[in-house]
Structure 1
Amino acid sequence: MKNVLIVTYFFPPFPAIGSVRLGGLAKYLPQYGWKPIVLTPKLPGKIDPVYHVVETPYEDRILRLERKLNISTKPTGKGGLKRLIFNPKGERRPYIGKMINIAGEVLSYPDGKRSWIPVAVKSAGKLFNTYPIEAMISSSRPESVHLIANQIKKEYHIPWIADFRDLWSNNPYYSYSRIRNSFEKKLERKTLSCADALSITSLPWAEDLATIHGNARVNVIHNGFDPENYPDSRLSKKFTLTYTGVLYDGKRDPELLFMAVKNLIDEGKIVKDDLAIRFYGPLQGWLEEKIGKYHLQDVAIQYGKVARQDAISKQLESQLLLLLNWNDPKERGTYTGKVYEYFAARRPILSIGAPKGVLTDLLDETGAGKYAFDGDGLKNIVLGYYQEFKQRGSVRYTGREERIDEYTHYKMAGKFAKILDQIT
């Protein structure tokens, strides 16, 4: 068994989507002859003993500065300079906003976690003195993990895979100035110049990454799911549609669904008492307003945040799982991590809003669900599923198991292992 160092900011039990990919990788790599040693900041909660995790001290430098100066950069904060930064309506004053944006670009270059770099590099040195480490994987975001790996690579000359869950300087949602982006693109190119291989989660993003780093080193390794986390469960007796996770007004927004359902109820095609639309995630005021707008208070309910295993249970008992996306061309290369969770639940997926791209192609490939781009299409899909529910008592799952199994964490780890074997 060969040791591989994994450098990551997110890892179970840290409650972030990035933890899922890294947890699955560390769990299944040993089945391919690689034993992971995970280097990470201090994690919240209890770590599964199946993992070998080395936690390091770390404090977010921006939060530390806010506390030191008694400043809050959020309208809800209680810092001593709140009145200077925000007007009575909670709006940031323009001149202060510009100053904060400039300071933020400097302090968070390349990201707000950069103060972890020297701590992590020092801790890695101790690991190299203790274990024979034969390769390394760094996984972003944040991008500071690649700067850590770059220093380790230069010091110990070990093969290195730089893994991306999102693009770096070419990220379509990059929010900083063009000047900073120019510097960051140079930093990305310099940092990854000594990486032996790059990996990323979708083909369009791989093509984008290759424009900076060349095709030869770039590999596509999708996210995935762990079927062991999904026990058998009984289905709900209602026509239940469930969404688990965070929603964003105008982006991950269920208004199109509310409109379709309201029309079907008004037309007498769906019995209101048969229906339950459930949201498990942070409570949203704007969502409650839209539920009221369509008079669906008895049907669509927000239950708030729940533990991950509870969210999985709610997925398993649902007739349909909602995948809410932003209909924007920038999303064409984006696989939401939620789709893999839904694969594991083995329940039909109803995707709303995603542009034609990798996500819709994935649903076609696997047969795991249907997607709608507009209200009429969505209305027809919902009605079809409802009619099946009334006839059979449940909605059948028609996913192609042989295709879906290609997206397990076991298969994902195998792709990483293949690259590790090639570069060592």
Structure 2
Amino acid sequence: MKKILIITPHYPPSNLAAVHRSRLFAEHLPAFGWQPILLTVHEDFYEEELDWNLQQLLPAKQRIEKVNAFNVTKPRLVGDVGLRGFFQLRKRALELLRQEQIDFVYIPIPSFYVSLIGPYLHRKTGVKYGIDYIDPWVHQFPGSDRFFSRHWFSTKLAKWLEPKAVKHASLITGVAEGYYKAVLERNPYLKNSCLTGAMPYGGEQLDHKRLKELELQPYLFRKNNKLQLVYAGAMLPKAYGPLEMIFRCMAEYKDSFSDVEFHFIGTGKLSNDPNSNSIKPLAEQYGLWQTVIFEYPKRIPYLDVLVHLEAADAVFILGSTEPHYTPSKSYQGVLSGKPILAVLHCASSAVRVLEDSHAGIVFEFNGETDIEKIYTGWVEVWNRFLSFRKTFKSESVSQNVFEQYTAKAVTSQLASLLDKVVTKMK
């Protein structure tokens, strides 16, 4: 077995969505000849609520190394646990490299700052490293153009630090090509010095099997005689435009949506604040709140999300006006066995997943200039979805198509890239 050190500040029992990237890679890498060592920050230093059920999803003999971190100060100056645990992670990583024969270091980001450990380790030991973009680092957030604002500083810092992090990387991967394409454009020498690969979040059928064994029950809403759809996960800043077009249409054609409920779970502006609503203000503006639209802002545990997806009548997926965004919730939706209604940028890789597998109806649009199309076409798409749902059977979803998007298949792509890097080293 070749050894790979995965540096991921958050890991189960953290309930952050990004932990599943490392978790699923680590679960399946041994099948392809790579033994993972997970280096993470101890859960005592996490700010989010812990989800101990996630521990039951980990292989029994998985090797996990934990370090301490600096506590969050009052007032809260630094929250990012990757930054609070940066020096501890770096120190332990160097110790592991000097004590053992580790063939590669892999760093999923965010936390973005942890990527700077890669070039440090390379300089000290010569080990090759790679960075996995779960989110883009250099990114124009709303407010980034306001001088000396928090987002302005973050963008400036990202532009300065990212070239230092990727300079000696041997591998750059991402959830989709668009997540790292701009990195190569900003640092063109990388096209010749490192390998790249796009690998989506994979779906893990075993998680749903374990879910049934735990016998968890839904608790956010009760079954009634209405058609209930669930959207689960954070809202991206550039998803509100498409959502407003949907709300605007539903407000105008209320009779068509009188027997429908959309439940938004974990969409709050603050992950642990049950009052940080992001959907409610928009729903109130269009007179849909607590009749058609319901929101539960606080993030709930991963397995609880799966329970509510399975309790719903259908799954609602909303993409962004940015073409690179591929919602990982697409794969969870397929595995829930429920019909899917999705609104996605036409360039999103999830479009093909859902259409080719016959898992749902996809409403495609082409960026910010095309969102008016959602308002004018929503009723027609909704009626198509209702017809689709009447004949939908979970067993009719094409598993052959979906096979390439399973966590194991996605991990095989990573393993192939790792083997090429190691072979190139020799």
| Mapped partners of 1:252, 1:50: distance in 2 | 43
What secondary structure does 1:15 align onto? Answer: coil
8 Å contact kept, 1:334–1:359: no
Bigger Rg over Cα? 1
Partner residue, 1:38:
38
Q: How does 1:61-72 map to 2 (within 5 A)?
A: 63-64=72-73, 67=74, 71=75
8 Å contact kept, 2:277–2:297: no
8 Å contact kept, 2:249–2:375: yes
Q: Over aligned residue pairs, what C-alpha RMSD do you find? A: 3.5
Partner residue, 1:55:
66
Which string of whole-angstrom CA distances, capped at 9 and with x for unpartnered residues, describes residues 237-286 of structure 1? 742211112346873474433444444442xx56x34x332222245556
Gaps of 5+ in 2: 218-222, 269-273, 366-373
The 3 A distance-change label for structure 1 pair 37 and 161 is same
Deviates more, 1:124-133 or 1:410-419: 124-133
8 Å contact kept, 2:9–2:85: no
Counterpart AA for 1:300: I
Identity of aligned residues (%): 18
Q: Aligned match of 2:328 in 337, 352, 376? A: 337
Partner residue, 2:371:
none
1:201 aligns with 2:201: no
What secondary structure does 1:133 align onto? Answer: coil
What secondary structure does 1:240 align onto? Answer: strand
Partner residue, 2:416:
418
Which string of whole-angstrom CA distances, capped at 9 and with x for unpartnered residues, describes residues 13-65 of structure 1? 212121111110111111111111111111255544443111111125xx42x
| Mapped partners of 2:399, 2:408: distance in 1 | 15
1:228 aligns with 2:206: yes
Deviates more, 1:400-409 or 1:353-362: 353-362
Partner residue, 1:302:
295
Counterpart AA for 2:227: F
The 3 A distance-change label for structure 1 pair 334 and 304 is closer
Partner residue, 2:110:
141
Counterpart AA for 2:234: V
Counterpart AA for 2:141: Y
Partner residue, 2:340:
349
Q: With the length of structure 1 as denominator, give the TM-score of the two structures.
A: 0.75
Gaps of 5+ in 1: 74-106
| Mapped partners of 1:172, 1:142: distance in 2 | 17
What secondary structure does 1:55 align onto? Answer: strand
Deviates more, 1:317-326 or 1:352-361: 352-361
Q: Aligned match of 1:279 in 256, 260, 264? A: 264
8 Å contact kept, 1:388–1:395: no
Deviates more, 1:159-168 or 1:353-362: 353-362
The 3 A distance-change label for structure 1 pair 140 and 179 is closer
Q: How does 1:121-270 map to 2 (within 5 A)?
A: 121-169=90-138, 171-173=139-141, 175=144, 184-185=158-159, 187-211=161-185, 212=187, 213-216=189-192, 217=194, 218-231=196-209, 238-247=226-235, 251-252=239-240, 254-266=243-255, 269=256
Deviation at 1:228, TM superposition (A): 0.9
Q: How many residues align?
A: 372
8 Å contact kept, 1:139–1:163: yes
Partner residue, 1:98:
none
| Mapped partners of 1:167, 1:263: distance in 2 | 37
Partner residue, 2:280:
288
Counterpart AA for 1:230: H
Partner residue, 1:95:
none
Deviation at 1:203, TM superposition (A): 2.1
Which string of whole-angstrom CA distances, capped at 9 and with x for unpartnered residues, describes residues 119-164 of structure 1? 1122123323543322211111122222112212222222322222
| Mapped partners of 1:317, 1:360: distance in 2 | 24
8 Å contact kept, 1:260–1:379: yes
8 Å contact kept, 2:39–2:64: yes
1:321 aligns with 2:315: yes
| Mapped partners of 1:348, 1:29: distance in 2 | 31
What secondary structure does 1:137 align onto? Answer: strand
Deviation at 1:412, TM superposition (A): 1.7
| Mapped partners of 1:249, 1:200: distance in 2 | 20
| Mapped partners of 1:149, 1:250: distance in 2 | 31
Deviation at 1:399, TM superposition (A): 4.3
Which string of whole-angstrom CA distances, capped at 9 and with x for unpartnered residues, describes residues 146-194 of structure 1? 211221222222232222212333x343948689866754543333222
The 3 A distance-change label for structure 1 pair 250 and 198 is closer
8 Å contact kept, 1:259–1:294: no
Counterpart AA for 2:198: V
| Mapped partners of 1:206, 1:179: distance in 2 | 21
Q: With the length of structure 2 as denominator, give the TM-score of the two structures.
A: 0.75
| Mapped partners of 1:289, 1:187: distance in 2 | 36
Which string of whole-angstrom CA distances, capped at 9 and with x for unpartnered residues, describes residues 394-418 of structure 1? 6778643222221111112111111
